[in-house]
Structure 1
Amino acid sequence: MKFAEEFKNAVTPRAALLVIGVLALQLLFITSYVGALHNPKPKDVAFGVVAPQPAAAKQLAQQLDKLQGSPLDTRVVKDAKTAREQVLNREIDGALVFHAKGAQDTLYVASGGGTVLASALEGLATTIDAQQQRTVKTVDVAPASVQDFDGLSAFYLVVGWCVGGYLCASIMSISAGSKPASPQRAAIRLGSLAVFAVVGGIGGSLIIGDSILGALPGSFWGLAGLGALITLAVGAITLALEELTGVVGIGLAVLLIVIAGNPSAGGAFPLPMLPPFWQAIGPWLPPGAGTWAARSIAYFKGNDLTQSLLVLSAWAVVGIVATLLVSGLREKRRGAKAGPATEPAAEPAA
């Protein structure tokens, strides 16, 4: 009996529920990461085909679409120049240019978008041409930096900004004993988060750039602004979840950003190499949107940024509005329960 009583005192029902929640997060972490990354292979990769005759190009596209496992989603492109531009604009991930003269074709890839995918496309093109007694020359239109092994630097940079965002938000809430924020306190926390985001964005861009590590090329201020937006978005949505659910919100933020967001971000393996579920959710979560945007800034001259920036901005706006709205409604309910202040009784006349 003594042990049972001590156990009840040591592990409260609330603590037991939190431990069960942590166990669920642990198992979801394993499921998400292993499920997304254990067997990467290209699936329906946007791929262009160029040939001197439209009929020949259409025939080649149909042949590539019938490859086992459907690794390519092929479309006919009118000429080599257009194919190169589409790869650089991130409209397609690669393109094969068939040359009628000679026995060598040209493959356009962009390793800045993910070296693993570029290598996979090169392997496919080499195998296809070898079956026709032809060879292929690979042209990398947006090559990854030699200091950016496997094109992972952009992903790790974004992960760092995401971690900073939810840790900053969590610490501001926990330091107050997880007390619900008043509207004034919520506004102060959001303002502090914004300052933290700007400093973190500049710091991350400085570390990753030529002045220190030299891991990523691209606009210093472009990456710094992106880092500030990512940090603000993640931090704001974490504050909102904490306002809605208390300390459980920290776990929900981990579920959203770390468990669902990181393996679907296209970092280790670009999106076309991930299973359908992770491929579908990746672009709509902060890590995936951030990774795409960081690579666009670093390697693709800022092309195809609109969707990613809109996604990150939407997370930031939703987080800010929800944090202020929930804290305001709670303050209003608290005032309603307290009721109007009572007037002190008048003193009897002398």
Structure 2
Amino acid sequence: MPSRNRHVIAVVVLVPVLAALALWAFAWPASRIAPRDLPLGVAGPPAAAAQVEKQLERHEGAFEIHRYADEAAARDAIEDRSVYGAVVVTPQGPELLTASAAGPAVAQFLQQAVGQQAAAGGAQVKTVDVVPAPASDPRGAVLNAAALPLALAGIAAGALVTLLGLRGIRAGLALLGASALVGMVAAGIAHSWLDALGGDWWAAAGVLGLCTLAMASAVAGLAALLGTAGIGIGAATVMLLGNPFSGATSAPQMLPEPAGAIGQWLPPGAGTTLLRSVSFFDGAAATGPALTLAWWTVLGLGAVLLGSSLKARKAGAEPAAGHREFSAVG
């Protein structure tokens, strides 16, 4: 069979397969959003709190209940990112504490779930947003939308470094420089212009840059070890797993398993979680996602240096082998 015919068949078969994979990766988590062991606090007198906890347990598998002595402790837990919200039993009736900055979709779900439960018992729930999302972006649309451009920037940086033939230290410096500029540009848009991020400007720029660097390093590192095929593998991992499994539009605990867990081990998910922590929660619970991004960066840059070293050795070995053959003939 002529090679051109094989190429036609490859295109006809591979494109639908890739489309099916992309549709599955994006549509499956989005269509199955629901709480799964979502951390939720309950505070108040022991007897009343136990009753509320029992009612919440009717949502089988939905909540991971944490008990707190009073409202102050529950608020501290929300601000520390230990829970997404809390139901507080007060003499005036139940009160729901939320944190829309941790995920507007989660806060909205809690209002619906707890409100309906209270309404069934003839009570009304007062809702207090402990850590609100910015007034200029109450739905978190900017942060949600930022995941895709950062992923594209990371993939583009890793691919360009490879296709331009940069190796070793030069490749690493190019990745660092490009990622740092992406972080500052993204912070300038999301933080300064759109006012969709809080906290320190440089901290936000650092997180955005680190997230980009982690993805760029992964793509360039795979390409350094596997050749140009590594670009495709890295890009597919970031786009088909990292982006839809990131939980940017809701929360990791709102995605079907194992998507939620996988997403937090990949740069887009870890970057989104870290950005929320730094922007709205004074860095609470930032260690885990920061380490995840750091490991991706270190492993990716290490692969870039290793690939460069292996290619240098191979290039040095070929002339030596050719010289030995020439000597033997002579």
Same fold (TM over 0.5): yes
1:90 matches 2:81: yes
Please list, as runs of the form range in 1=range in 2, the aligned pairs for 1:34-73 lying within 5 A after superposition: 34-52=27-45, 54-67=46-59, 69-73=60-64
| Structure number with larger C-alpha Rg | 1
CA distances 1:66-112 after superposition (whole Å, capped 9, x unpaired):
32x4321212111110101111111001100011x23x211111001
Structure 2: how far apart are the matches of 1:227 and 1:341?
A: 48
Give the conservation status (yes or no) of the 8 Å contact 1:44–1:71.
yes
Please list, as runs of the form range in 1=range in 2, the aligned pairs for 1:108-257 lying within 5 A after superposition: 108-176=97-165, 185-210=167-192, 212-257=193-238
Structure 1: how far apart are the matches of 2:118 and 2:266?
A: 38
* Paired position in structure 2 for 1:263: 244
Task: Choose which of 283, 304, 312 in structure 1 pairs with 2:293.
Answer: 312
Structure 2: how far apart are the matches of 1:191 and 1:25?
A: 33
Would you say how many aligned residue pairs link Structure 1 and Structure 2? 326
How far has the Cα of 1:171 moved from its partner? Answer: 2.0
Q: Secondary structure at the match of 1:98?
A: strand
How far has the Cα of 1:306 moved from its partner? Answer: 0.6
Structure 2: how far apart are the matches of 1:49 and 1:292?
A: 24
How far has the Cα of 1:27 moved from its partner? Answer: 1.9
- Where in structure 2 are there 5+ consecutive unaligned residues? none
Give the conservation status (yes or no) of the 8 Å contact 1:147–1:216.
no
- Where in structure 1 are there 5+ consecutive unaligned residues? 346-350
Give the conservation status (yes or no) of the 8 Å contact 2:100–2:129.
yes
Structure 2: how far apart are the matches of 1:277 and 1:341?
A: 52
Q: Which amino acid letter does the alignment assign opposite residue 76 of structure 2?
A: E
Q: Which amino acid letter does the alignment assign opposite residue 193 of structure 1?
A: L
Give the conservation status (yes or no) of the 8 Å contact 1:243–1:326.
yes
The percent identity for this pair of structures is: 30
Structure 2: how far apart are the matches of 1:311 and 1:156?
A: 21
Give the conservation status (yes or no) of the 8 Å contact 2:161–2:175.
no
Give the conservation status (yes or no) of the 8 Å contact 2:26–2:244.
yes
Q: Secondary structure at the match of 1:209?
A: helix
Q: Secondary structure at the match of 1:145?
A: coil
CA separation of 1:237/1:21 partners in 2, compared to 1, >3 Å: closer, same or farther? farther
CA RMSD of aligned residues (A): 2.3
* Paired position in structure 2 for 1:30: 23
Give the conservation status (yes or no) of the 8 Å contact 1:117–1:270.
yes
* Paired position in structure 1 for 2:274: 293
Give the conservation status (yes or no) of the 8 Å contact 2:48–2:89.
no
Structure 2: how far apart are the matches of 1:31 and 1:21?
A: 15
1:274 matches 2:266: no
Structure 2: how far apart are the matches of 1:341 and 1:174?
A: 28
How far has the Cα of 1:300 moved from its partner? Answer: 1.4
- Structure 1 moving runs of 4+ over 6 Å: none
CA distances 1:198-238 after superposition (whole Å, capped 9, x unpaired):
1111111011123x222222211001111221111111110
Give the conservation status (yes or no) of the 8 Å contact 2:134–2:197.
yes
Q: Secondary structure at the match of 2:66?
A: strand
Structure 2: how far apart are the matches of 1:175 and 1:342?
A: 30
CA separation of 1:234/1:123 partners in 2, compared to 1, >3 Å: closer, same or farther? same
Q: Which amino acid letter does the alignment assign opposite residue 203 of structure 1?
A: V
